[in-house]
């Protein structure tokens, strides 16, 4: 649709805007300028305008941005305007936390299946979901149209799980295990790497 590739830096700022806009909306604020947005988020207003202008003309000169309209537009850009089924692999503490977390959110990303290979966990429930044996993953992914997989298993199992997810036809992976996953071209992997965050944080200690 859009010829020029949008940089990842831009894409990662959109959810930040979205979150703050949603907050403004909850306060009943109808309009916001890039100036105000920039002040609150500690960002350059020109950057915000430029980021948004990549995708269309969402603002109104002399006025600013209509909050609900901009929320709608950003959600469209991020493809959050349609339901996206996720699955979770690994029903440990982290898995539970993630399940509860996405369960109570108001967006269209929803965990619809949970897998584990521990017989003690299989069959137990997290919220409305029953923990399924990992062997059921391929069929369930197809049956439920699951598009994103979340890996919340120990490091030594992560690559196997990734292979299984990719084989099942998953399109993107969010990986919590502290390992570099290798996946085929076209499958996007994001890392939620606590180790990396803590290590880089340590550097900045006085």
Partner DNA sequence: TAGATTGTTAATCGATTAACAATC
Footprint of a second copy on 59-88 (CB under 8 A): 77-80, 84, 86
C-alpha separations of 60 from 18, 39, 76, 132 in Å: 18, 19, 19, 50
Which residue among 15, 39, 40, 63 contacts DNA (CB under 7 A)?
A: 63
| Contact flag: residue 172 with a second copy (CB under 8 A) | yes
Of the listed pieces 30-38, 116-124, 133-141, 184-192, which binds DNA according to CB under 7 A?
30-38
64 forms part of the interface with DNA (CB under 7 A): yes
Alpha carbon distances (Å) from 95 to 7, 51, 52, 81, 90: 30, 34, 34, 25, 6
92 binds a second copy (CB under 8 A): yes
Query: Of residues 15-44, which lie at the interface with a second copy (CB under 8 A)?
Result: 15-16, 18-20, 41
Q: Is 90 annotated as a binding residue?
A: yes
Q: Check binding of 202 to a second copy (CB under 8 A).
A: yes
Exposed / middle / buried, residue 189 (Cβ in 10 Å: 0-12, 13-18, 19+): middle
């Amino acid at each position: 649709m859009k010829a020029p590739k949008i940089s990842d830096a831009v894409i990662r700022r959109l959810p930040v805007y979205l979150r703050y806009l949603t907050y403004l909306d909850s306060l009943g604020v109808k309009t916001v300028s890039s100036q105000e947005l920039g002040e609150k988020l500690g960002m350059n207003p020109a950057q915000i305008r430029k980021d948004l202008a990549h995708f269309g003309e969402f603002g109104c000169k002399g006025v600013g941005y209509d909050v609900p309209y901009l929320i709608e537009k950003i959600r469209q850009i991020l493809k959050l305007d349609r339901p996206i089924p996720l699955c979770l692999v690994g029903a440990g503490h982290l898995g539970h936390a993630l399940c509860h977390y996405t369960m109570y959110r108001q967006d269209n990303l929803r965990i619809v299946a949970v897998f584990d290979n521990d017989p003690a966990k299989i069959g137990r429930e997290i919220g409305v979901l029953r923990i399924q044996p990992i062997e059921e993953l391929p069929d369930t992914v197809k049956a439920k149209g699951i598009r994103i997989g979340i890996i919340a298993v120990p490091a030594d199992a992560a690559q196997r799980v990734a292979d299984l997810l990719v084989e099942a036809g998953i399109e993107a992976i969010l990986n919590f295990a502290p390992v570099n996953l290798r996946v085929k071209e076209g499958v996007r992997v994001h890392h939620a790497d606590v180790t990396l965050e803590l290590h880089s944080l340590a550097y900045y200690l006085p």
